[in-house]
Structure 1
Amino acid sequence: MLCFVYAGLLAAGVVQLAHAATNNTINSQLRLAYAGDTGMYVSWNTFEKLARPTVHYGLLPNHLNMTASSNVSVTYPTSLTYNNHVKITGLKPDTLYYYLPEHLLHMNSHCPYTFITGRPAGNPAEFSVAVVVDLGTMGSQGLTTYAGKGVSENNTLSPGEINTIQSLEKFKGGYDFVWHPGDIAYADYWLKEEIQGFLPNTTIAQGFHVYESILNDFYDEFTPITAYKPYMVGPGNHEANCDNGGYTDKYHNITYDVSICIPGQTNFTGYRNHFRMPSAESGGTGNFWYSFDHGMTHFVQVDTETDLGHGFVAPDEPGGVEGEDSGPFNTTIDAQTKWLEADLASVNRTATPWVIVAGHRPWYLSNANDSGTICWTCKDVFEPLYIKYGVDLVLSGHAHVYERQNPLANGIMDPAGLNNPKAPWYITNGAAGHYDGLDNLQYPLMDYSRFGLDTLNKTYGWSKLTFHNSTHMTHEFVASKSGEVLDLATLYKARK
């Protein structure tokens, strides 16, 4: 491929390169997100605030003849970088574009990157999506071949084992985008990792350096994927919380100090700054709830952490099970569920027959006695709408296990199973991997369970959804270390 440098790009990057000498572990963290099928958000990080973040793009690698700019260059206390966001509009759907932002770090020149815009609603061509939940940084500050005190050996990697990020990169030619509904990076584990002897101790005042270092490690590791594939995210509890504060870790017998809360670590601060999701395009709110069409499928991201409404206290709001001081993010009462009902009611099931919803927390799982894992309030708020509007599949994580369940409605199994059920199909896959690894399922598994993997299996993995046509959709659990499909099931819906 022909590489080139605009003179303006090179000159503009001098200040960034000077800063790189003291921040040489941080890269540009380039990432994409759909903005409808004719738009794309391009985001990246710099050490300085940009007055005019700009992206050059075009249909040929050596002819980036179009530009898009914004004035969005944002940061927060304790962050080491600025997050720059540019929305490109007026693109052709399902089309390959070449692009290159200005002020990328650690480079004097670079070949342009590429993205493919979204498939227009109604496009009947088969496509696949990669789904990960509860995925943290890998390597020396996260999931690796060893861990600290109290972490099971089953939850570490074997020498030379391929981790989930590496697996997603290896197979990135086989899916259109990555969907990550919550718990991103696990940077809030920094103090836990120090207490357990995995990371060297630091002072509380300097703790933000460790937190931001873990966060930046994760985004850097994911860049080979997110620079080319849209990265659609949702909120999880680890985007909200001071994991080191306010509770006792019953598994490791550690009580965390509630006073140790870094500004960027609380109330989804880093998450809100780092991403831009298509909420404006779908009438949603921030990076918290939104929807988008892609080919024959309508995808919906919901927020199980805040803004449940209906008089329910959400897990990450004051008084919730996580005890955080987070949200709400919309001042209108019941804003999320009103939006969700309107969104589901407006779906054109002829153009997009498949409706898939993701939220971080499950309410069906073989771990029913754990109030910190099962979100019954989420069930009360969301499930009636999923049943009413015929949602096909509900994805979650939070529990660091994999469990595929029978379609369910109000806790009752649909007798049709996967052969044209009326009830939504539930799958929980929080087995992507992070510092202290996997959890246990409760045995015997619940009656509605059809397949499960947990810490006993010592296997990290991700989900691959394939939409074959209007009637058949397949879910696969892909083992990261081998690429082997350990579980496969196909849902059939009788549709014309």
Structure 2
Amino acid sequence: MAQLNLTMACSVVWAIMLSVVSVKAILEIQPEQIHISSTNDITEMVVTWSTFNNTNTSVVQFGFHGNLSYSAVGSSTKFVDGGPEKHTQYIHRVKMTSLKPNLTYTYHCGSPGGWSPLFTFRTFPEGTKWSPHLVVYGDMGNENPQSLGRLQEEVQQGMYDAILHVGDFAYDFDFDNARVGDSFMNQIESVAAYLPYMTCPGNHEEAYNFSNYKNRFTMPNYEKTQNLWYSWNIGPTHIISLSTEVYFFFNYGLHQIKNQLEWLIADLEEANSPEARKQRPWIITVGHRPPYCSDTLTRQCELLYSETVRGAFEDIFYKYGVDLSFWGHEHNYERFWPLYNYTVHNGSTSEPYTNPTSPVHIITGSAGCREAHSRFGPMRYYDAFRSSDYGYTRLQIINDTHINMQQVSDDQDGKIVDKVTLVKTKHGMRWN
């Protein structure tokens, strides 16, 4: 009898172990870290997600009102983090095509072995004569993501058309053998699965030649530039995403500086042509490290750092009439008067500044992370407004001549602490 009981007990234990293994196998093909991104075609949307085992197929089913009557098939790539455990996952990419403009779609992604929950997204309207609403921020971490809760609520309310994350994610993607990166991507799924989540690299993505950043996202021109730089259009706006990091991590190849510079000039030549400007009069750039700042906590605002970025981009931006540039890196919000070569053009602090080719620079790097706020030094003559509150920036391209911006403070329960309208006139630029 004792022998029989022992045999039965062993059988039960073995059955439980098999069940655990079976459940683990199911979980490892379940989609997670789901996010979408825009292309330069409003009839397309890309869905990117991860599984921890290979599913052999990558599928998105989509349609209207929960009726998933369409299907798109893509592919997956094996991504092995550079840490000692060689943490492995499969990144799936599927492009939906033939989408109709200005409609809300329902979708889920996965494979016959496991599907994601249902999500929705809305395609962009046709043409350029509409008013995109975007939210812009940088420097959001897995720990202390102060702005994420409010952003989740506002995304659910339909306040935005796209998200711009201007570098520094998770803090850091590669930590704990990339498990911090997995956790962060699951955190932002609550916004990034519903809106195009458009990115640029920051210094915190540097590990293993930016491998986590390159692999986890799918930006326009991904196949050629691995998400490091690209441009895309939304309404009357041409948006250029750049890597400031090619100027600071030379061990990954000086050729990247040349490649990005040649691409940038060619892109701006096209975007600044009379025909292109008539269609899309606004040119906006996003990058991580700013060319101007007044922070004193770190060395980032010393001449060595700011001069590097300023020297790389300022003359080009000025020549091709870039209107607005967003940056992160400093954990605060700082808005500048239109600047070129440390000079504020045409006017005094009590009058509107006008200059048709001097960009307006805005630092918005306070969405929340495990690192401290950046501390301001004395206010400079080129500063229009500064805030050390946690928060993010709302950007509305109203029409061909007006852009509205608001800075939201998480420390003050969503209060708008800075509000400004940028206006183009035939004589230049002015502020309201």
TM exceeding 0.5: yes
The change in CA–CA distance for 1:104 and 1:451 in structure 2 (over 3 A counts) is: farther
The offset of 1:58, in angstroms, is: 2.0
The change in CA–CA distance for 1:359 and 1:316 in structure 2 (over 3 A counts) is: same
Which aligned pairs between 1:403-422 and structure 2 lie closer than 5 A? 403-415=334-346, 420-422=354-356
Which aligned pairs between 1:169-180 and structure 2 lie closer than 5 A? 169-172=152-155, 173-180=158-165
Aligned to 1:358: 286
Aligned to 2:382: 448
The change in CA–CA distance for 1:213 and 1:111 in structure 2 (over 3 A counts) is: closer
Does 2:34 match 1:33? Answer: no
CA distance in 2, matches of 1:478, 1:274: 28
Which aligned pairs between 1:393-472 and structure 2 lie closer than 5 A? 393-415=324-346, 420-422=354-356, 423-442=358-377, 444-454=378-388, 459-472=389-402
Amino acid of the residue matched to residue 344 of structure 1?
L
Which aligned pairs between 1:19-168 and structure 2 lie closer than 5 A? 19=25, 28-36=32-40, 37-62=42-67, 64-77=68-81, 78-103=86-111, 112-122=118-128, 124-137=129-142, 142-143=143-144, 163-168=146-151
The offset of 1:356, in angstroms, is: 0.6
Question: Deviation digits for residues 352-391 of structure 1, max 9, x if unmatched?
Answer: 1111100101011113896434332221121111111111
SS for the counterpart of 1:143 is coil
5+ long unaligned stretches in structure 1: 1-13, 145-162, 191-206, 241-264, 307-313, 319-325
The offset of 1:27, in angstroms, is: 6.7
Aligned to 1:18: 24
CA distance in 2, matches of 1:91, 1:495: 37
CA distance in 1, matches of 2:263, 2:186: 34
**1:285–1:329 contact (8 Å) kept in structure 2:** no
Q: Which has the larger radius of gyration?
A: 2
Aligned to 2:184: 218
The offset of 1:402, in angstroms, is: 1.2
Greater helix share, structure number: 2
Percent identity (aligned): 32
The change in CA–CA distance for 1:176 and 1:317 in structure 2 (over 3 A counts) is: same
Aligned to 2:215: 273
CA distance in 2, matches of 1:16, 1:424: 57
SS for the counterpart of 2:46 is strand
Amino acid of the residue matched to residue 55 of structure 2?
L
RMSD value over aligned CA atoms?
Answer: 2.8
The change in CA–CA distance for 1:290 and 1:119 in structure 2 (over 3 A counts) is: farther
Aligned to 1:260: none
CA distance in 2, matches of 1:295, 1:435: 35
CA distance in 2, matches of 1:328, 1:238: 19
The change in CA–CA distance for 1:16 and 1:117 in structure 2 (over 3 A counts) is: farther
Aligned to 1:343: 267
5+ long unaligned stretches in structure 2: 1-19, 428-432
Provide runs of 4+ in structure 1 moved above 6 Å: none
The change in CA–CA distance for 1:460 and 1:20 in structure 2 (over 3 A counts) is: farther
**2:31–2:115 contact (8 Å) kept in structure 1:** no
**How many residues are treated as equivalent by the alignment?**
389
The change in CA–CA distance for 1:368 and 1:339 in structure 2 (over 3 A counts) is: farther
**1:32–1:228 contact (8 Å) kept in structure 2:** yes
TM-score, normalised via structure 1 length: 0.73
The change in CA–CA distance for 1:440 and 1:228 in structure 2 (over 3 A counts) is: same
The change in CA–CA distance for 1:15 and 1:395 in structure 2 (over 3 A counts) is: farther
CA distance in 1, matches of 2:72, 2:127: 25
The offset of 1:489, in angstroms, is: 1.3
- Greater displacement, 272-281 / 381-390: 272-281
Aligned to 2:408: 478
The change in CA–CA distance for 1:480 and 1:35 in structure 2 (over 3 A counts) is: same
SS for the counterpart of 2:218 is coil
The offset of 1:297, in angstroms, is: 0.8
Question: Deviation digits for residues 418-448 of structure 1, max 9, x if unmatched?
Answer: 5543210011111111012311111x11110
SS for the counterpart of 1:451 is strand
**2:138–2:166 contact (8 Å) kept in structure 1:** yes
SS for the counterpart of 1:492 is strand
- Greater displacement, 78-87 / 267-276: 78-87
Amino acid of the residue matched to residue 300 of structure 1?
I
Question: Deviation digits for residues 83-123 of structure 1, max 9, x if unmatched?
Answer: 11112223223332221112499xx776531112234442x
The change in CA–CA distance for 1:427 and 1:71 in structure 2 (over 3 A counts) is: same
CA distance in 2, matches of 1:451, 1:434: 22
Greater strand share, structure number: 2
TM-score, normalised via structure 2 length: 0.83
CA distance in 1, matches of 2:229, 2:352: 28
CA distance in 1, matches of 2:110, 2:174: 33
**1:134–1:433 contact (8 Å) kept in structure 2:** yes
CA distance in 1, matches of 2:183, 2:408: 24
SS for the counterpart of 2:293 is coil
Question: Deviation digits for residues 278-334 of structure 1, max 9, x if unmatched?
Answer: 0259xx62201111111111111011001xxxxxxx11223xxxxxxx35675xx72
The offset of 1:74, in angstroms, is: 2.5
**1:57–1:100 contact (8 Å) kept in structure 2:** yes
CA distance in 1, matches of 2:172, 2:294: 28
Amino acid of the residue matched to residue 287 of structure 1?
N
SS for the counterpart of 2:239 is strand
Aligned to 1:290: 230
